[in-house]
Amino acid sequence: MEENLDKGMDLLAQGWELLMSYGPKLVGALLVLFVGLWVIKIISRSISKVMDKKNVDASLKPFMKSLISVLLKVLLIISVMGMIGIQMTSFIAILGAAGLAVGMALSGTLQNFAGGVMILIFKPFKIGDYVDAQGQAGTVKEIQIFNTILTTPDNKTIIIPNGGLSTGTMVNYSKEETRRVDWTFGVAYGDNIDKAREVLSNLMKANDSILKDPEPFIGLVELADSSVNFAVRAWVKTADYWSVYFSMNEQVYKVFEKEGLSIPFPQMDVHIQK
């Protein structure tokens, strides 16, 4: 009976010793845990407000918020476990090695993910823009985390990985409000070039879609093999580019014919000697 009592007292003493040794650490760790979770919640809200002010893409906001929240919570848990007395050196080393292995295995995917994040943050293009990149051209239909989807004018769907898209050269035809339309119109040798210039000028002035400022430019650019060529340049709103381009080609063909101006074509004179 006395032996059982002594053992019970020993266990009670050991329990009290453990409580006095680890109790303050446990209380401190729990306090740090609750305060840390509260701070992480405040940080997540602040990040969400900043992304709203910066007009970050709606598809990126929840992902970035969750990613930052998870990383902060992992760091908090590691800190709390260290306060209790758990050795975290080996755990961190294993976690780092696993992260390195996963990163190497998914290097291409991670590159595309990083590219998607950069595109959604800096917005070099948006949905509806017509772009030319990675040897492909089309209208941006959708911007995803890993890929960007284009639709070509003949209704083909093109999927471009965001990794190369974010680091390579890209032309955005829709970024600016105005674009310059360039034509080359030729008349035959012997035609009145002053009259040709006047006809072209009148056509530019009569087209309401062509901007008056900057003024259209008409200049004799080349004395070619079969024609005298004029370079014609005019500024239009980006949305009117193709309609102006095609309509002006048709109008020049019709008006030149009425005005007696010849549109030449390649030809060869053959002289035969007897």
Q: What is the pLDDT of residues 240-273, one digit of tens each?
A: 999 999 999 999 999 999 999 988 877 667 778 7
Does some domain include residue 92? yes
Supply the range of the domain harboring residue 166.
124-172
The CATH number given to whatever domain includes residue 13 is 1.10.287.1260
Cis peptide preceding 214, ω within 30 of 0:
yes
Mean pLDDT of the chain: 82
Does some domain include residue 42? yes
Task: Please give the average per-residue pLDDT across 189-202, as a whole number.
Answer: 94
- pTM for this predicted structure: 0.63
Structure tokens at 54: 């910066």
User: Closest Cα to residue 175, out of 232, 111, 130, 116?
Assistant: 130
The CATH number given to whatever domain includes residue 166 is 2.30.30.60
Residue 168 to residue 227: CA distance in whole angstroms? 40
29: left (phi over 0), alpha (psi -120 to 50) or beta: alpha
Does some domain include residue 195? yes
Distances (CA, A) of 143 to 51, 106, 211: 18, 21, 33
Non-local (6+) Cβ contacts of 233 within 8 A are: 180, 181, 182, 183, 216, 217
Both 29 and 97 in one domain: the answer is: yes
Number of domains in the chain: 3
Q: Where are the alpha helices (DSSP H) in 182-223?
A: 193-206
Both 148 and 207 in one domain: the answer is: no
Structure tokens at 166: 């974010």
For residue 238, give the DSSP letter: G
Q: What's the pLDDT tens digit per position in 136-193?
A: 999 999 888 888 999 999 999 999 999 888 888 999 999 999 999 999 999 999 999 9
